[in-house]
Structure 1
Amino acid sequence: MMASTTDQSLLSSETAEDEEAPYRSLLLQATQEMQGAISREPQSKQIRPQPGFCLKTRTSQNDKVFVNVCKSEHIPAPPELSEQGLVSLLESEDPSGYRVPISLGEPHAEVDNSGNGCTAYDIAINTSFFEKIQANPLFMEFLVTVALEGLENKYGLELSREWRVLKNRKFMGLVMDQNIRTKSQPIIQEIDKSEAPKLSSETRLSEPQSSPEVPVSRILAEPADGHPRFLVAEIALPKVPSARSLVLDLGEDRIVLWARPSLYHLDIFLPYNVIQEECGAQFQRNRKVLTLTMPVRPL
């Protein structure tokens, strides 16, 4: 769905002559990818996960929250990792390098055993990984931490890290279908050399804000007049050490970006619908700038 209003200030057609060549390269690459895409596969499909276990925690306002941890063969398994590998990862400076695919369902209102209202959230993970966390307390702790963080990021929650698994209940409420992507989000390619123009003086970073900060960004249209063929977004991330710290969710008309740990959060609507499966992302590590190249859907 498009945003109800289009903020034309997001679009910029004032590109200096020395800035045009890098964008031409990015746009040419996206054009070739678009011309090579023959079929359009569905972006998502519905699955019905199987109940696994239910855990209980609370919000910062002391409201009860239940998390239904489910399993499904349709969810990709994370890369194989030993317990020692997980320990080393957690002790490293950048533990975000290991990603666990999780489907986060919508919240639903329920009634607990005391007859009081509560909120339940459903998450789904790969079946084999579910069996792994069941057999290994360290992986269980890791999965719950990742899941709670994911729910906090998606729904703006603040959840306690004190939780317990319910003994006599596998699921709070009714099992509902979930939509999962059949196509992955664009992989963020990390490059050392500067291959894109510097942000202009009008996009200088503002004074430090409360964490996480909203990063400075701009969106350019190509061509600038009429219905564009591409959008190019630049996002300045001066505190980000590498692309592994970034979590990008690119929708048809929306960009959602998280930079961990709680460095930046960007959530903006695009002025045009883009072709998600043909978008590209590059993080220039030297300049700390993320560049998104997004082909626009034709009229």
Structure 2
Amino acid sequence: MSEATATQNSSARNKHCPPPPRRNSKNCGGGGTEYLDITKEEFARIEDALKKEEFRKLFFEYCEEIQDPENRKLYEQEIKQFEAERGVDIRFINPEPGFVIKTSVDGVTKCFVNVAKSAELTRPSNKVCLNPETGNPDLSWSIPLAQAPPREDLDAQGKRCRVYDVIFHPDALYLSQRDSAFRKCLIDTALDAVEREFKVNLDRTNLKFPKLQFKGMARPIVIRTLSKNAPPEAAEPHPLDGISPAKPSADAGKPKIIPLKTQNVIAKPEFNVPKYVIKHRRDVDLTEYTYELDAKFSVTVPRELVIEIDLPLLKSTAECKLDVTEKSLYLLSDRPGAKYRLNLDLPYAVDDKRGVARFDTDQRRLCITLPVTQHSPRKQRAMHDSICQLNREDSGVESDIREEGNLHSNSESPVEELSDTVEENLSASGDTVNSPQSFATPVQPPFSTTTNFLKSSIQYQLPAKFDCNVLDNVMSLVLHVRNVQPESIAMLKNVKSLHLQFTSIGSGYYPTHYALYLQLPDECNAEISSAEAEAWENNVVLNLNMTASSENIHNYLVGIDASDLKEYTIQGKFKLAHKSRQSRKKSPPTPPISLSSSLDISVERSECERSVEIEIKPTNEVQSTCTANTTEDEDGLLHAADAVPKKVNKKQKKKNKKRRSLSESVCDDIKVYQKQQQQQQQEQQKQFLKEAAKILNDDSSNSPDDNSSPE
């Protein structure tokens, strides 16, 4: 066993030697590229001073005086005398060459540890003790040492390195030459002292012993101890003498010695794990900045993996083994003094056959570039199809136009959890939810009989816009809500009311819950026999089948639930031609009359009042065309005849610039065309009135009891 005492370590720094140049705090422990904290003005002053011959002469004389041994002895004597007046004894330790240990600091910076000797230190001592592990008698060594602060130096290639000095008594180095076990103990003691004092991590796996006795220039260090014969003026009372406990007397007895607990010895690894960095590299591809659905599908997957491994103790990779598979990387170096082993799992699958490895001899770094395997075209097409199914974007203006066959609703969505809960609630009644195959397929939602139709944990809202129409015994509601999930539709039907709920998915795949409660008025005789909901891309169509005719329904009540209802009036009804007009198709064919292009005709028959209402008016297109032609003709004539300038605004000027004047012959042709159109319209109106009169006569003949006259 070895035990290193550091009683003299605290006083191993020379405070009277010239201080080293100021260094950056980042570089003191890591060996950076900036070493002197110097400003531009100071550097310019030094440069100007070195250009003067007188300054260079004085500078050289100062260097010679410092290196002169006689001056050094005189300097040491003066320092000893000055410290003795303060009650401190000092000893100058001049390290003598021993041997050198070569290793690295934190696996990055090369360093050297000088194991030197000096007779000023205490000799190593030992004593016999029992080994707690084996119980056999063994020797316990106490090896005093001294350390100097680290310094920067250059190696054989001219690169910067770190140098540490650890000084022992000459007898310790003599014993290390005679006994290999003691030499190993001395090396471990020196490395422990460097790591403990300067808070660094040395690579003990790859130790080398170059043929050097000392690295760099030897610098003396100073050990200070309190003087036993202090001068009278130095013997002052200490301020803590009355507070701290008194020193025990000689008759107080021996103190109790508590044995130290032995720690389990950790086995030193055979190989060292080097430092490494994994970089994800990806080139800029302009196709990823388009508005396609699959443009940024694989934007987070890199194209290449760059792995940088620091190997400071290797000069080349000739004795290094590298094995790369699809998902792992293995590195092994069996070279004596540079034993490394790295087993790394890669984050992505790579193509090991197209990898490239390069070793940087300057930085002692191995750079491995591995291309990442991309998805096959078949898999990319499958992912593209899945994205098209998942992406149902709500733009807020209008829905995207897609083919009906590609709009499947069986993809995963945030409302699947809602659908599952609805199925659980409806399982008691024996109904099932049938998911449709497309948005255009009618959906037969289940009719729930549960009392709590709406969940209290979900906040519902009423559709902002909806329309209502009635025809015969069908009442139809169109709810203008986009991107409704068909499987989320659920209904609760009663005799006079219907409760509906569904969910819509927005552009951010965030679900919005809607609810609608419809109630028929009390004075209405019709009842709801059945209902069906149909989910489209832009709306939801709700059809209610009545037991009686729904034409007498003029208003209805709508709200989120039965407690909050608001009355709405049915604005319009579907208008169809009378049945007698459809029967006239069986009569002999007559020459077709193109009324849809010039006239807007509406026929409404009232069963209650037994009357027929006919409304005939020209279409908007004909009116706008005639008006535009007339105004253009008149404007052309006015502009040609009017020579007096008028003040008009800028918009009117732009309109006048865009218009082009017409000749007189063209204006005459336009007038003739307009007269012909008017004559054709008059003839078409006469023919239509004749046909309407025939329809009324047929109607009166079919119903002889009808005494009302047509309006």
Tell me if both proteins adopt one fold, taking TM over 0.5 as the criterion: no
Question: By percentage of residues, which structure has more helix?
Answer: 2
Larger Rg: 2
User: If the length of structure 2 is used for normalisation, what is the TM-score?
Assistant: 0.20
Q: RCO (CA 8 Å, sep 6+): is it higher in 1 or 2? A: 1
Question: By percentage of residues, which structure has more strand?
Answer: 1
